[in-house]
Structure 1
Amino acid sequence: MKNLKSNHDAQSVLTFRKWGRKNYSSFLTVRKQVVISVLSVVYFLSTPVITMATVQDTSEVKMEYDLDEIEVSAQRTPALYSQVARIISVIERKEIEAAPAQSVQDLLEYVAAIDVRQRGTEGVQADVSVRGGTFDQTLILLNGINITDPQTGHHNLNLPVSLAQIERIEILEGPAARVYGPNAFSGAINIVTHQSVDSEISAAVSGGSFGYFDGNLSGSLSTGKMLHMLAFNGKRSDGYTNNTDFDELNGFYSNQLNTEKGVLKFQLGLSEKGFGANSFYTPKYPNQYEATKTLFTSLKWEGKGPLHLTPVVYYRRHHDRFELYRTDKYGLTDDGYKVWQNDTLPGWYSGHNYHLTNVYGANLNSWVKWAAGKTAFGVEFRREQIYSNTLGLDMDEPKDVPGEDAQFTKSDDRNTVSGFLEHAYYINKWTFTAGLMANYISGSDLGLNVFPGIDVSYNVSDAVKLYSSYNTSLRMPTFTDLYYDGPSNIGNPDLKPEKSATLEGGLKLRSKLLRGHAVIFYRHGKDIIDWVKEDPTAEIWQPQNLTEINNLGTEVQAQLLLRNEYGNHYPNIQISYLYNNVEKGNADLVSNYALDNLKHKLVGSLSEQLMKGLQLDLHFVFQDREGSYTRFENKMPVGEAAYDPFWVFDGKLSYRRKQFSVFASVNNIFDKQYNDIGNVIQPGRWFKTGVIYKIGFN
């Protein structure tokens, strides 16, 4: 059967190269993925098209994947999965739907290599990093398009899609500058949306503790060569403690036009949310509030022919309103003061912070196969622009803030041009891939910088592969790093880009019963940016280029696939462990981000099919974090405190009958009190339940 094109950029695609003549081959062409996955669950809620005439229960369809038939493009040139010398973790649609998670952030908690430092729950705000990096060092992509926010990495996961629209999440561990460009410093996360080849409608409603409500409505339409998908999502909560309420609305549309010469893909997403930000950025001011709006769109052409050309244009607009004091909650007293609960609005507070970023981008990727292997080359242009009343350089003329009674008084912009070159060569049991990215940043005195990388692997047997890789990368400072000026933070316009070099090696194991990998990695970071202060009692944080940070770590993952070997009544079990030791060039500084890495993270899951259509999924996470934070009581600092290690257990019970399914889940089953960020307590036990109905039409 001829290959189907993927739903996302060729830089991070996993496709089936050929099909056996199995009765499920046509179903597989919706592009399922198999890699060493983080969550071990059976094929349960991943629902194919359900027609009015014929209803097929796919929970008993056995998916017999041959890993050697999978084509992987986690590099500039496409390659078979068995040839790639990198660690790629993939969370598939069936795993997403079975997991006790309602947001991308919650789902990523179950990946050992990822540190998710949550402030608000259910996707409100979280800082996501890979292998001990910071949240600004991880590149986020939507269908292969870079959606990283130049203002701050806090906004990187302001996504216009919910979990219901996600087909899979791909995680490339380690530097990826020569694949994706700047800011893929410690890893990259690509979120791929679902594009059905048939017409169907899906509706889902769920509710739970703390006034939680979540609603989803989506539909797909197939009209000959054109595929359409439209989805809407809304969720809210009263909050699990004071000033942690939130409201969120998302809308997303995508289409795909298939022609003889190639595939044209378009996507448009809108997201709007507002949330109480209790102590998010400083516990000195617990009554914070933030509202964000995101617009994202892209157009991509995937050409066919001997020379494969993929041009892309994209645009992202993000609006942020930050309130140090949530003024809508403050009431005016008889003596003229504004008061909320026990807090009085100070006279010096003149208004909120407003930020508007525009990102314009265009890139061209191409590759060709010839006698000496596969060669890829490409170029990308990206322009980042910000308007603000606190970030940037003074404007000659102020500009009105859209929809607000305020004005932007500062702005800045920068252009980045990157060129890519890569070659892959395969001989017998060996694979060799080498490439580089040449990068120029406007307004800097760095000139042209080159970041090379090389990957090598050797297949010991059909089940065991050894690999090693060396890659370099950079991360540009955000506009917040450069310019922020607030009561507890002040920026540094003299910051330089971060640079790193990473060496790693390990083995991959794949068999019908057991899959996994073991990896050792070392990263040398230079000019690492972090918000620091010299004295724990000092009130002001300022970003600096630390002299260096060296990471030495190991990651081990194993999946015991008993169900595949012995039948549906046996569970699948997965366990993963990450160890990361960080040595600082300046150990005397108090760090807010870079030096507070996870030293130990252990995750595990068990998936058990109790009976036909009924499935139980259990997950646990253990975290032990380095560093410390300044503990506050009654909005005053009282000294440094170490992060306490903790265990969290989650569970979900799901039942599916034809096109109807119902679930009940519990997060933090044992009501553990813990925090990912100092002074920001995470919610206790949280119950949720919901129903899902899907129907398809011929």
Structure 2
Amino acid sequence: MKFLNLKQNAQTILTFRKWGRKNYSSFLTLKKAVVISVLSVVYLLSTPVITLATEQDTSEVKMQYDLDEIEVSAQRTPVVYSQVARIISVIESKEIEAAPAQSVQDLLEYIAGVDVRQRGAEGVQADVSVRGGTFDQTLILLNGINITDPQTGHHNLNLPVSLAQIERIEILEGPAARVYGPNAFSGAINIVTKQNTGKSIQTSVSGGSFGYFDGNLSGSFQTGKLSHMVAVSGKRSDGYIENTDFKEVNGFYSNQLIAKKGTLKFQLGLTEKGFGANSFYTPKYPNQYEATKTLFTSVKWEGNCPLHFSPTVYYRRNQDRFELFRDNPASWYTNHNYHLTDVYGANLNSWFKWKLGKTAFGVEYRSEQILSNVLGNEMDEPKDVPGEDAQFTKSDERNTVSGFLEHAVYINKWTVTTGLMANVISGSNLGMNVFPGIDVSYSIGEGVKLYSSYNTSLRMPTFTDLYYKGPTNIGNPDLEPEKSATIEGGLKLNKPLIKGHAVVFYRKGKNIIDWVLNDDEVWQPQNLTAVNNLGTEIQASFLFRNQYGKQYPNVQLSYLYNNLQKQEADFVSNYVLDNLKHKLVASVNQQILPNLSLDVKLVYQDREGTFTRFEDKVAIGEVDYEPFLTCDTKLSYSQNNFTVFGSVNNLFDVSYNDIGNVLQPGRWLKAGVVYNFNFK
């Protein structure tokens, strides 16, 4: 058992890091306080209490139910991972290191419940959705802070960090509006970065097909009680076909101050990238180009008094330049599209423990603003575009004030969590929006649990939905918000040999927004009458190596079936009706030699819907999406602090499309080295 020793009020506090699988390990905790980290993406989804008559720490729950759980971090109110009455997929650090992926977008492909529709390679731009939702219906968080873009979900994964700086990724499947507010419509993805203590430096370089290069340099150090992490990274490629080249640079800094009454956390990140956008938005003009800059920062305090207060402030700016013609523009083309979004937010989250359970409450304010020459209402006076010879002529903004209340009890084998989120959104005629929900679980045996939940949600249209105007697209300022109610239930299994879940879910959607083709052959967003999802997800991890020895592999199988039903079908859909109907993921990790391991991922996808096929910039008709199977593999050799690896993505050189006419890369070979310097 590994512990981190801290001093507080002359009492030794042990922070649970990893269970050592030893019979005597629990004796190390005798006469000591034990602090256990808990899941950050959950927030208030479940807050178990042992009984109504006594107050016990989450450490006791952990010891009683599963001491072999993953290490997770805390937000708002603590909850042990195994007690959450929802489906949460967690990709841990070791899995990230072993996987044949070098971007968050590629890594998310290996989760059955997640649909990643990539336009550019290596995460240049990708639309990520959960359980048949759209990319605008999934909330993205960085270390628990909302970084979702109000202009368009295409920019949600403009991340200032590379995979080398990520500790884990948590995917909450299903709506979470009563936790996060609007836009956590079909799920939420929380990206948690590393915050090492002590002194260390990590460097890595890799290269491969299509002129690919990726470099990372990060370091951690400590000054008194303040721990720091600094990272810079960059990647580039010449492109796998014409006009798919890209360049990307990231910078990220975070620190953490552990004080007597709590912990202060700060983060600051910047990412800048430019990329050829071949047919990204319309195949009529394949010579498109896009450049983005994103700045993000936040400060958060986590108090440890009996009444736990956790205030947070954050800011995000995203600047986007889109060129319909990268060069040789048509005579009628006079100006690029320029957008600048500013998001300010502040929240205060609190929770306390008492004899009737745990109660959490809080408030949040979020302001979303846009300046543009395309999106919004006409401005009285234009404003200069930073760094460009152009001006913003339009703008818009909206503010959201939210409050939440949640309570949880744990009685014998039952966990019950219920609560609601209420908010008011400026500029809308919605009045007060209320999102109630409840999660229930029942333990039927050691490591076996039944669960069920009911949750409601809402999503506001993006500024692109409302205002965009282009040669093949036009916005709709009369759009109404999307609404849904979701019920799900199933079984969760947490045994030493087999871990997994089986779940059935049903989502009833109203006023779902999608871009549809009108009579003038122009795409315009509309509120569809109703779109309902009925699906199932099955996932099983077989931990043969953990149980029987290093000569055996660990195997994971997961499958998603999602059947989408719509009341109106006399239209051509661009996003909503093109959901994945079947997705099967198979993963094998085998240790070949003591320091040599092989990771293989097979992903099968079968997508509903059609797209308009273009040849030589001319539409030739509607065609179905073809199912496809891809294979990625990575061979890694590690010795001491040194790792060398080789990987192949799309091993069988399959030709496929995630979205429309955007062809995905064929076989892509990469190789690289990683070295860690640890200083005493």
TM over 0.5: yes
User: Which of residues 476, 500, 505 is equivalent to 2:484?
Assistant: 500
- Correspondence 1:83 to 2:80: no
Question: 2:421 maps to what in 1?
Answer: 437
Question: 1:481 maps to what in 2?
Answer: 465
Separation of aligned partners in 1, 2:71 and 2:441: 16
The Cα offsets for residues 228-273 of structure 1, whole Å up to 9 and x where unpaired, read as 0000000000000000000000000000011001110000000000
Contact 1:114 1:129 in 2 (8 A): yes
Separation of aligned partners in 2, 1:25 and 1:228: 30
Q: Give the C-alpha shift of residue 355 in structure 1.
A: 0.1
SS, match of residue 657 in structure 2: coil
Question: 1:347 maps to what in 2?
Answer: 331
- Correspondence 1:549 to 2:531: yes
Contact 1:32 1:92 in 2 (8 A): no
Q: Give the C-alpha shift of residue 16 in structure 1.
A: 6.2
SS, match of residue 563 in structure 2: strand
SS, match of residue 97 in structure 1: helix
Separation of aligned partners in 2, 1:93 and 1:686: 24
Question: 1:584 maps to what in 2?
Answer: 566
Q: Give the C-alpha shift of residue 539 in structure 1.
A: 2.8
Seen in structure 2, the aligned counterparts of structure 1 residues 112 and 74 have a Cα distance that, compared at 3 Å, is farther
Runs of 4+ in structure 1 deviating by more than 4 angstroms, as ranges, are: 1-5, 14-26, 29-35, 67-76
Amino acid at match of 1:481: D
Contact 2:39 2:74 in 1 (8 A): no
Separation of aligned partners in 2, 1:309 and 1:602: 42
Question: 1:664 maps to what in 2?
Answer: 646
Question: 1:616 maps to what in 2?
Answer: 598
SS, match of residue 287 in structure 1: coil
When the two structures are superposed, what TM-score results if normalisation uses the length of structure 1?
0.89
User: Which of residues 558, 566, 576 is equivalent to 1:594?
Assistant: 576
The Cα offsets for residues 377-429 of structure 1, whole Å up to 9 and x where unpaired, read as 01100000000000000000000000000000000000001101000011000
- Correspondence 1:684 to 2:666: yes
Contact 1:534 1:588 in 2 (8 A): no
Question: 2:53 maps to what in 1?
Answer: none
Seen in structure 2, the aligned counterparts of structure 1 residues 455 and 67 have a Cα distance that, compared at 3 Å, is farther
Seen in structure 2, the aligned counterparts of structure 1 residues 15 and 190 have a Cα distance that, compared at 3 Å, is farther
Q: Give the C-alpha shift of residue 79 in structure 1.
A: 2.1
Which consecutive unaligned segments of at least 5 residues does structure 1 have?
Answer: 6-13, 36-64, 331-344
Contact 1:139 1:184 in 2 (8 A): yes
Contact 1:30 1:197 in 2 (8 A): no
When the two structures are superposed, what TM-score results if normalisation uses the length of structure 2?
0.91
Q: Give the C-alpha shift of residue 564 in structure 1.
A: 1.0
Question: 1:378 maps to what in 2?
Answer: 362
Separation of aligned partners in 2, 1:226 and 1:653: 37
Question: 2:175 maps to what in 1?
Answer: 175
Separation of aligned partners in 1, 2:238 and 2:210: 6
Separation of aligned partners in 2, 1:387 and 1:147: 18
Question: 2:326 maps to what in 1?
Answer: 326
Q: Give the C-alpha shift of residue 632 in structure 1.
A: 0.6
Separation of aligned partners in 2, 1:504 and 1:93: 29
Question: 2:60 maps to what in 1?
Answer: none
SS, match of residue 356 in structure 1: strand
- 1:455-494 matches, within 5 Å, as 455-494=439-478
Q: Give the C-alpha shift of residue 439 in structure 1.
A: 1.1
Question: 1:632 maps to what in 2?
Answer: 614
Q: Give the C-alpha shift of residue 78 in structure 1.
A: 2.2
Question: 1:414 maps to what in 2?
Answer: 398
Contact 2:633 2:647 in 1 (8 A): yes
Separation of aligned partners in 2, 1:234 and 1:74: 30
Separation of aligned partners in 2, 1:476 and 1:451: 14
The Cα offsets for residues 140-199 of structure 1, whole Å up to 9 and x where unpaired, read as 000000000000000000000000000000000000011111100000000000000121
Amino acid at match of 1:89: S
Contact 2:587 2:599 in 1 (8 A): yes
SS, match of residue 460 in structure 1: strand
Which consecutive unaligned segments of at least 5 residues does structure 2 have?
Answer: 7-14, 41-64
Amino acid at match of 2:321: R
Separation of aligned partners in 1, 2:470 and 2:484: 30
- Correspondence 1:654 to 2:636: yes
Seen in structure 2, the aligned counterparts of structure 1 residues 590 and 15 have a Cα distance that, compared at 3 Å, is farther
Question: 1:450 maps to what in 2?
Answer: 434
Q: Give the C-alpha shift of residue 3 in structure 1.
A: 8.2
The Cα offsets for residues 650-689 of structure 1, whole Å up to 9 and x where unpaired, read as 0000000101110000000000000000100000000000
SS, match of residue 149 in structure 1: coil
Seen in structure 2, the aligned counterparts of structure 1 residues 79 and 403 have a Cα distance that, compared at 3 Å, is same
Contact 1:99 1:652 in 2 (8 A): yes
Question: 2:56 maps to what in 1?
Answer: none
Q: Give the C-alpha shift of residue 83 in structure 1.
A: 2.1
Contact 1:72 1:78 in 2 (8 A): no
Separation of aligned partners in 2, 1:441 and 1:416: 5
Question: 2:585 maps to what in 1?
Answer: 603
Seen in structure 2, the aligned counterparts of structure 1 residues 71 and 103 have a Cα distance that, compared at 3 Å, is closer
Separation of aligned partners in 2, 1:25 and 1:360: 45
User: Which of residues 522, 539, 548 is equivalent to 1:540?
Assistant: 522
Question: 2:625 maps to what in 1?
Answer: 643
Question: 1:40 maps to what in 2?
Answer: none
Amino acid at match of 2:144: G
Separation of aligned partners in 2, 1:639 and 1:398: 42
Q: Give the C-alpha shift of residue 15 in structure 1.
A: 7.4
Question: What's the RMSD between the two structures over aligned residues?
Answer: 2.3
Which segment drifts farther, 202-211 or 80-89?
80-89
Amino acid at match of 1:353: N
Amino acid at match of 1:220: S
Q: Give the C-alpha shift of residue 533 in structure 1.
A: 1.6
